[in-house]
Amino acid sequence: MSENQKEWSFAEIQAIYHQPILDLVFQAATVHRQYNNPNQIQVCTLVSIKTGGCTEDCAYCSQSVKYQTDIEVHKLMDVETVLTLADEAKQNGSTRLCLGAAWRELRDNKDFDKILDIISKVKERGLEVCCTLGMLTEEQAKRLQEAGLDAYNHNLDTSPEYYSEIITTRTYEDRLRTLENVQKAGISLCCGGIIGLGESDSDRIRMLQILANRNPYPDSVPVNALVPVSGTPLENQPRVQIWDILRMVATARIIMPAAKVRLSAGRATMSTVEQAICFLAGANSIFAGEKLLTTPNKSQIEDQELFQLLGLEPLPQLIETHSH
């Protein structure tokens, strides 16, 4: 085990998570400064390369075929379209492009070949590439790695105990198997979850425990706050409180000290002050751009103002890529 990796018990994480919020933020900010430059924020841009028509039934998701939602469905994008979006993302200060596809699992077909082509060409443009394409086999992970893929996103979303309340078309074990395959192939793992699904604090702590006890723990941990989507079973869930987001971010920072902790879905409705306190508590990565996958995000101008106001700078690229 590396020096920043240890085995966390549920009780230990529970004690961290439930301390008075100012103590929690102070502890997280202290750890953050020991491991990371607190003024550097990783900036990633999402592109939904294949939208809607997904056969899974994730209760929060606008892209499942099981629910009637108002989204623009499209098949896998052309390589050229993705490259144009990659150039725009780079110009707007992103160092990582995250390509999302609404698939249950990756299949060995022409679309896969196209994705491999997209990965190598986006890399040539001088960006890190992350994909989130559903479940992967060991061989598929290897092919993605060979094409130059830097990172793979695959979230646990919630605790194993609460999982079947949210998703019935796959199991927690399915999810864990893909995480294994990604890490075995030497791809950087991006894995986190969503809060606001009706889960308890214990469910959140359990998920954090499973993430932190992976060896190695994920390189990046997205913390999503539910964006309720009309037509999904969770459309009427109450808005997640900032204090809950803050506790998740701070606890993730303390138990996974060197990870990127990403303020992901839900940032669009956060104020500047709310985001600032999350950065203080250890968040150090965001999604930039007007849209996440199907829901709105902060505008470029809003984020420019945020960075200027708080004296933040974009994190330089972590992984060497060939730039034109």
> What amino acid positions are annotated as catalytic residues?
54, 58, 61, 98, 130, 190, 262
Rg of the chain, C-alpha, whole Å: 18
CB of 189 to ligand DTB, least distance (A): 12
Rounded to the nearest whole angstrom, what is the least distance from the CB of residue 311 to ligand SAM in the complex? Answer: 29
CA atoms within 13 A on the CB side of 24: 23
For residue 29, what are its two tokens?
């900010």
Binding at 220: pick from ligand DTB, ligand SF4, ligand SAM, none (beta carbon under 5-8 Å per type): none
Partner touching 94 among ligand DTB, ligand SF4, ligand SAM, none, CB below 5 to 8 Å by kind: none
Nearest to 251 by CA among 272, 224, 278: 278
Distance of CA 317 to the CA centre of its chain: 17
Shortest gap between Cβ of 39 and ligand SAM (angstroms)? Answer: 27
3-state secondary structure of 223: strand
Q: How far apart are CA 188 and CA 200, in angstroms?
A: 29
Which range binds ligand SF4 by CB under 6 A, 53-61, 105-113, 208-216, 276-284? 53-61
The pair of three-digit structure tokens given for residue 24, joined into one six-digit string: 């929690």
Residues near ligand SAM (CB under 6 A), total? 17
- Measured between alpha carbons, how far is 238 from 197 in angstroms, rounded to an integer? 9
Residue in 13, 46, 49, 56 binding ligand SF4, rule: CB under 6 A: 56
> Which residues in 270-309 contact ligand SAM (CB under 6 A)?
293
CA distances from 11 to 7, 208, 209 (A): 12, 12, 10
Out of 52, 134, 233, 282, the only residue in the binding site for ligand SAM (CB under 6 A) is 134
Taking the least distance from each CB to ligand SAM, the nearer of 103 and 217 is: 103
49 contacts ligand SF4 (rule: CB under 6 A):
no
Q: 109, 161, 112: which is closest to 133 by C-alpha?
A: 112
| Closer Cβ to ligand SF4, 60 or 307, answer by number | 60
Assess contact for 44 and 287: CB atoms under 8 A: yes
Number of shown-chain residues binding ligand SF4 (CB under 6 A): 8
Q: Name the DSSP class of 47.
A: E
Measuring CA to CA, how many Å separate 267 from each of 43, 52, 292, 315? 13, 22, 10, 19
What residues between 282 and 311 interact with ligand DTB by CB under 6 A? Answer: 292-295
Nearer to ligand SF4, 54 or 240 (CB): 54
Among 63, 183, 224, 251, which residue interacts with ligand SF4 (rule: CB under 6 A)?
A: 63
Q: Distances from the Cα of 83 to the Cαs of 80, 266, 306, 312, in angstroms?
A: 5, 27, 27, 28
Single-letter residue type at 221: V
By CB under 6 A, the residues from 144 to 203 that bind ligand SF4 are: none
Q: Which residue is it, tokens 């990965």?
A: 119
Among ligand DTB, ligand SF4, ligand SAM, none, what binds residue 64 when CB lies within 5 to 8 Å by partner kind?
ligand SF4
Q: Which stretch binds ligand DTB (CB under 6 A): 144-152, 220-228, 233-241, 313-321?
A: 220-228
Nearer to ligand SF4, 16 or 293 (CB): 293
Beta strands at 128-132 and 151-153: parallel, antiparallel or unpaired: parallel
Token pair, residue 2, equals 């590396």
Which range binds ligand SAM by CB under 6 A, 113-121, 198-206, 226-234, 252-260?
226-234
Q: Which residues bind ligand SF4 (CB under 6 A)?
A: 54, 56, 58, 61, 63-64, 102, 134
Q: Which residues bind ligand SAM (CB under 6 A)?
A: 60-61, 100, 102-103, 132, 134, 154-155, 157, 194, 224, 226-227, 229, 265, 293
